[in-house]
Chain A
């Protein structure tokens, strides 16, 4: 344990040089900005800035790029809460209750809880990386395709609780999401599925395209069609800071969210996106008044926001300890290291201790900076709601289009998002929730990939899911949850809950 503090001390001396503090601040600022702007994500930003980092030293450039990544997670929640547009998969959950809070005049409270939760999670995750990096890596490696598949199944079962309203509608939305995730070339044979011969569908649908369309454009259509709904948000802004009691009430949610996010963030294949969903499900199960969920429950913002920030940070663990990138941003970080002539791998910690510990220490500094940048900005962000819609809407649409185009320098992506916008509006009119669809889409892709990989590895035997102890436990939990959900007494309760709501 002492080692950790000595090492963190070394990291602090590296991170606390004027240059590195400045780069960390710059990264956090850029990150917050791209997070707030709908459609422009950290992947595109880091890709653009990659050549610029050539002129910096390795530690400084990684500190800045890391700042962009977790800064964007931070900023993304702002847009999700204020205008109901999640720019990242991890902010989908925040939008559900966060935006409802904004409509109730609690935008400040939601943003404040998100910021405080994120800071707490960031601090804990920094310590987790420093102290538990190696054992956490081993945990991540335990999850092969088989275990991962069972985890997804458990996730899908829990996803049902995301719904507020008709259970049937929620399940059908999840299934539509899974179906949409199947569009594109088959991973094993390369044959096209559901592409209608269109080239733009050959590589599947990008999550950003789906999210910008259904949430972003759909939300704008909805507001244009229904002027009363938007005026509610505009007229009531409310208090900017959470009270001590509100903080105390939500602290358990922040704690649980941090734990879930930290663990799931280590998993390969972007496990970090599962954190917020898991946290939401857990909070709803544990809540005294679960009927508030979906209607602006503060815990439904505090928990998932902590989870997404913790996950963003612990997803650095496989990169730092093994040189293996668990998601697209980390893959770009590998690129950044290679440009600098550093070979990512287990030896980085010995060969470049100043880089390893400096980066970790800078994460904590970065989280502190994000609070300093964001808390005073809450007032400013909330005032954004006062910007006349004739200016705000075209601006949002414009930024969405820039972001969509920048995914692959391809106008077809923008058009596809426009189509999803119409679908999003139709879903709103028919009272279908878009969040389960987004979850189905995200999980569906991993679900198919892991199912097929497991079956190839096992030689076609489905028993493999029961032979792995970890997988068997996860499946058992899923079955238990399912039984509880469909048992008659629970169903009555559930129906009553929704009648009230």
Chain B
């Protein structure tokens, strides 16, 4: 009997404690953040976007002085994460890593339940990840110019991480800018595509730097150009596409912080300041470099303008290639 009594007391105490912990944030509502922040990632754990989100979140916690929990919500071609974030309360406790695909490409391809342009609020740009043009052993070319020349035969094939992925769009834009026709072979993820590139079954790829850098350094794959505006620190000898003779060709996978429309101004400015602080940490910069990215600090307005521009730009690429789904 006494045993039962103590157990009941313990249960009651637990109940009280739980009510208190739930009630606590209501009392301290003014000090954001007063409860854990959920950072939604639209991709599965272990991928490129996830890696960048986790590096960012870990340091952001320190800058904000509160927990930031990364929640992977993959699905529906990365549109599920957009929907989840757009539908959340605009209180700053649900945020989203907004990147190139779902933010500015998918609106041209899918019929979306939430429009990232109107249902989400840009907070700050985080990082910019250039892509790299690589060729495998099947192709004896040394420069981007030679690749373009070889592609005039109309027989070259390139692999991508999937339909409408950054690597697909990057290659589409290269083809459109340089005026060449190349055939697209979609894979499920960059890994298997790079594998077939090494095996010589496909000719070239425009892929993310981390997916190829090891093979570039060992000489297995040849890097012809990076697609950013500047060269990438880990690949100092690889020219940009513009330097290599394809004027006007830039493509990058970028990552930013967005939230549901209608967040309080002070929450947004706090998050923006915390992002700036995070991106000035040397350790964060180092880790971003490993993920093939460079920090790109942009405030809400600059980031919004950038996204609008990107949306138009990739919309044209998508239309020209006719990869619309609906």
B75:A410 contact, CB within 8 angstroms: yes
B35, CB-defined interface residue at 8 Å: no
A202-B77, A335-B47, A347-B218 known; A144+B163 contact, CB < 8 A:
no
Partner of A188, one of B163, B210, B213: B163
B325:A335 contact, CB within 8 angstroms: no
Expressed in whole angstroms, the Cα–Cα distance for A199 and B74 within the complex equals 12
A459, CB-defined interface residue at 8 Å: yes
A459:B155 contact, CB within 8 angstroms: yes
- Which residues of chain A (186-211) have a CB below 8 Å from chain B? 186-192, 199-200, 202-203
Q: Which residues of A contact B77 (CB under 8 A)?
A: 185, 190, 202-203
A408, CB-defined interface residue at 8 Å: yes
Expressed in whole angstroms, the Cα–Cα distance for A203 and B44 within the complex equals 12
Expressed in whole angstroms, the Cα–Cα distance for A453 and B201 within the complex equals 10
B178-202 CB mask vs A (1 if < 8 Å, else 0) is: 0000011111110110111011111
Q: Which residues of A contact B50 (CB under 8 A)?
A: 335
B76:A199 contact, CB within 8 angstroms: yes
A199-B76, A410-B75 known; A346+B215 contact, CB < 8 A:
yes
A51, CB-defined interface residue at 8 Å: yes
The residue on B at minimum CB distance from A203 is B75
Expressed in whole angstroms, the Cα–Cα distance for A51 and B186 within the complex equals 31
Q: Which residues of A contact B164 (CB under 8 A)?
A: 190
Q: How far is the CB of B325 from chain A (nearest CB, A)?
A: 5
The residue on A at minimum CB distance from B155 is A459
**Main SS at interface, chain B:** mixed
B184:A145 contact, CB within 8 angstroms: no
Q: How far is the CB of B107 from chain A (nearest CB, A)?
A: 14
A185-B77, A187-B163, A459-B155 known; A453+B214 contact, CB < 8 A:
no
Expressed in whole angstroms, the Cα–Cα distance for A185 and B44 within the complex equals 17
Q: Which residues of A contact B184 (CB under 8 A)?
A: 188, 456
Expressed in whole angstroms, the Cα–Cα distance for A328 and B215 within the complex equals 20
B45-81 CB mask vs A (1 if < 8 Å, else 0) is: 1110011001000100000000000011111110010
Q: Which residues of A contact B187 (CB under 8 A)?
A: 449, 453
Q: How far is the CB of B46 from chain A (nearest CB, A)?
A: 4
Q: Which residues of B contact A456 (CB under 8 A)?
A: 157, 183-185
Q: Which residues of A contact B191 (CB under 8 A)?
A: 268, 324-326, 331, 334
Partner of A141, one of B72, B186, B198, B287: B198
Most interface-central of B77, B109, B110, B198 (chain A CB within 10 A)? B198
A343:B195 contact, CB within 8 angstroms: no
Q: Which residues of B contact A341 (CB under 8 A)?
A: 286-287, 290
Expressed in whole angstroms, the Cα–Cα distance for A126 and B65 within the complex equals 47
A199:B214 contact, CB within 8 angstroms: no
Instruction: Give the A-binding residues of B (Cβ under 8 A).
Output: 44-47, 50-51, 54, 58, 71-77, 80, 109-110, 155, 157, 162-164, 183-189, 191-192, 194-196, 198-202, 210, 213-215, 217-218, 220, 286-287, 290-291, 323, 325
**What are 7 residue pairs bridging A and B, where the CB atoms are less than 8 Å apart in the complex?**
A187-B162, A343-B214, A347-B217, A408-B44, A408-B73, A409-B71, A457-B157
The 10 A-B pairs of least Cβ separation, nearest first, read: A345-B214, A144-B201, A47-B45, A141-B199, A346-B218, A335-B46, A332-B46, A323-B214, A268-B195, A190-B163
Q: Apart from A47-B46, A51-B58, A322-B215, what are 10 other A-B pairs with CB-CB below 8 Å?
A: A47-B72, A144-B200, A189-B163, A331-B191, A335-B51, A341-B286, A345-B218, A449-B187, A456-B185, A457-B201
